[in-house]
């Protein structure tokens, strides 16, 4: 049993609550995002704006970012496995060191750039890279894991600052729950985003961060290399292509999107998650990944249940929040069920009507999800008009702990 705490009145302000949430969101989204390698001629503003767009996904659709990280995690392992299998069977393979997941991440994020006559031509997939090496068409330096990590900008001080801020946020949240002090809906939403960011961070732990320079692969033949897999446009830039990541992660589609902007910049697409051809066959690892994805998404929705004890201004706000939370929890479970059934597609004959039904369901879920996220934001803003006085109270013994903006 906990001793009755000494509560400090007005221990925090509305400004400190909002600022603490914003700092935590900025810290987790900036550090959780490990973008792919940009184009060789792209400017700093283009690179920054793309990163800010990905950070917006962390806040607006954190599950989508988790799916992207999950795709890359699986694809990086398969890329390393494919390279090592080639290395064991090819007469040229003995010249190279074995790959691990870091090498796989580097390759799948556009780490090997083909140069023809001194000009950037486009990123190479692992299949293209090994094929060109076998044919003696390219010259490539032997790249070690230390060389890749040396290009990464993920320093220890940055990690320590982020972890300390996020640990403090989660710690004070738990203390308030234990001592029955209400949280704002903004803090509940932030906790869910922080929790998913930690999962994403774990999946990308071995992925190099903020790498701007790929490994140069020089074309040594007089013949033209032809079209590369990632150098041919297969789709136009549109918001809808963002949601195809959801379907491909659940293995509901094998469609690959290479927009014109990526082709022109000679880079992999922004949300590229690995060569689709390497990930068609279901394996045990992929099924475990689907469990992880569904569990994490359900956890994000379940975090919102902490707010059910919040003194809403009206029953309408309460039931709206409860309905949104129930749908957020149920949606990933439904998608997981479909993905699990699709694992058994070798036992059935897929029909065109099956594909159409799956696409309609993905589109419907996307629209519903957007509406729910908008409803959450509206409810959070509305509750700030009349916050209960207990929101500003703090447990006195936590105030001497060093922290920011609380």
User: Do 304 and 244 share a structural domain?
Assistant: no
Residues 238 and 292 in one domain: no
**Other CB atoms closer than 10 Å to residue 274's CB: what's the count?**
26
Is there a single domain that holds both residue 381 and residue 242?
Answer: no
**Structural domain containing residue 35:** 16-275
310 and 188 inside one domain: no
Q: What is the pLDDT along the chain (406 residues), one digit of tens a residue?
A: 444 557 777 678 888 888 888 888 887 778 778 889 998 888 888 888 888 888 887 777 787 778 778 878 888 888 898 899 999 888 887 888 889 999 999 999 999 999 998 889 989 988 899 999 988 898 877 888 888 888 777 666 666 777 777 788 888 888 888 888 888 999 999 988 888 888 888 888 888 888 888 899 999 888 888 888 888 777 655 555 555 555 554 444 555 677 777 888 889 888 787 764 444 444 555 556 666 767 777 888 888 888 888 888 888 889 999 998 988 888 777 666 665 665 555 444 445 555 566 566 666 777 787 788 888 889 999 988 888 888 888 777 666 665 554 4
| Domain's final residue, options 240, 275, 310 | 275
Last residue of a domain, one of 237, 255, 275: 275
- Separation in Å, CA 297 to CA 300, 325, 332: 5, 12, 6
Neighbours of 219 (CB within 10 A): 19
User: For position 103, what pLDDT does the model report?
Assistant: 92
Q: Is residue 105 a part of any domain in this protein?
A: yes
Does residue 393 fall inside a structural domain?
no
Q: pTM to 2 decimals?
A: 0.81
**Res 112: pLDDT:** 93
Within a domain: 200: yes
Phi, psi of 72 (to 5 degrees): -65, -40
What integer pLDDT is reported at residue 228 of this predicted model? 86
Number of domains in the chain: 2
Same domain for 228 and 329:
no
* pLDDT for residue 249: 47
Q: Are residues 184 and 41 in the same domain?
A: yes
On whether both 352 and 324 belong to a single domain, the answer is yes
314 is a domain residue: yes
CB 154 within 8 A of CB 204: no
Single residue among 248, 275, 302 that ends a domain in this structure: 275
Task: Based on the fold, state whether residues 230 and 309 are members of the same structural domain.
Answer: no
Closest among 259, 243, 346, 249 to 291, alpha carbons compared: 249
* Residue 396 belongs to some domain of the structure: no
| CB neighbours of residue 254 within 10 Å | 11
Exposed/middle/buried for 350, CB within 10 Å: 0-12, 13-18, 19+?
A: exposed
Residues 221, 337, single domain; the answer is no
- Cα 207 off chain centre by: 12
Q: Domain check: are 292 and 375 in the same one?
A: yes
Residues 109 and 249 in one domain: yes
Flag whether 286 is in a domain.
yes
Does 404 fall in a domain?
no
């Amino acid at each position: 049993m906990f001793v009755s705490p000494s509560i400090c009145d007005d221990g925090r302000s509305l400004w400190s609550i909002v600022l603490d949430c914003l700092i935590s969101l900025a810290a987790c989204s900036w550090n959780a995002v490990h973008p792919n390698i940009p184009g060789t001629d792209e400017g700093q503003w283009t690179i920054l704006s793309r990163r800010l767009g990905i950070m917006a996904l962390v806040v607006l659709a954190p599950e989508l970012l988790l799916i992207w990280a999950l795709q890359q995690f699986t694809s990086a392992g398969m890329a390393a496995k494919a390279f090592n299998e080639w290395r064991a069977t090819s007469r040229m393979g003995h010249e190279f060191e074995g790959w691990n997941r870091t090498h796989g991440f580097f390759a799948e994020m556009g780490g090997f750039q083909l140069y023809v006559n001194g000009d950037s031509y486009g990123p190479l997939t692992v299949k293209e890279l090994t094929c060109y090496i076998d044919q003696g068409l390219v010259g490539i330096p032997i790249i070690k894991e230390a060389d890749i990590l040396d290009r990464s900008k993920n320093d220890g001080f940055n990690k320590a600052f982020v972890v300390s801020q996020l640990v403090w946020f989660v710690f004070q949240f738990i203390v308030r729950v234990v001592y029955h002090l209400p949280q704002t809906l903004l803090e509940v939403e932030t906790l869910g985003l922080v929790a998913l960011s930690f999962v994403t961070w774990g999946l990308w732990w071995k992925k190099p961060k903020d790498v701007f320079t790929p490994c140069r692969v020089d074309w040594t033949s007089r013949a033209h290399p032809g079209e590369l897999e990632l150098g041919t446009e297969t789709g136009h830039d549109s918001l809808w292509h963002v949601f195809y990541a959801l379907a491909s992660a659940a293995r509901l589609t094998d469609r690959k999107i290479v927009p014109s902007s990526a082709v022109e910049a000679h880079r992999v697409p922004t949300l590229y998650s690995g060569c689709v051809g390497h990930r068609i066959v279901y394996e045990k690892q992929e099924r475990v990944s689907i469990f992880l994805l569904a569990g994490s998404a359900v956890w994000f929705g379940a975090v919102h249940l902490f707010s059910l004890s919040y003194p809403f201004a009206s029953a309408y706000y309460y039931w709206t929040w409860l309905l949104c939370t129930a749908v957020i929890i149920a949606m990933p479970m439904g998608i997981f069920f479909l993905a699990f059934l699709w694992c058994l597609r070798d036992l059935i004959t897929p029909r065109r009507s099956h594909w159409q039904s799956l696409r309609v369901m993905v589109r419907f879920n996307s629209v519903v999800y957007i509406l729910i996220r908008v409803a959450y934001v509206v409810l959070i803003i509305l509750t700030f008009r009349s916050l209960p006085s207990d929101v500003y109270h703090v447990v006195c013994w936590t105030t001497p702990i060093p922290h920011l903006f609380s």
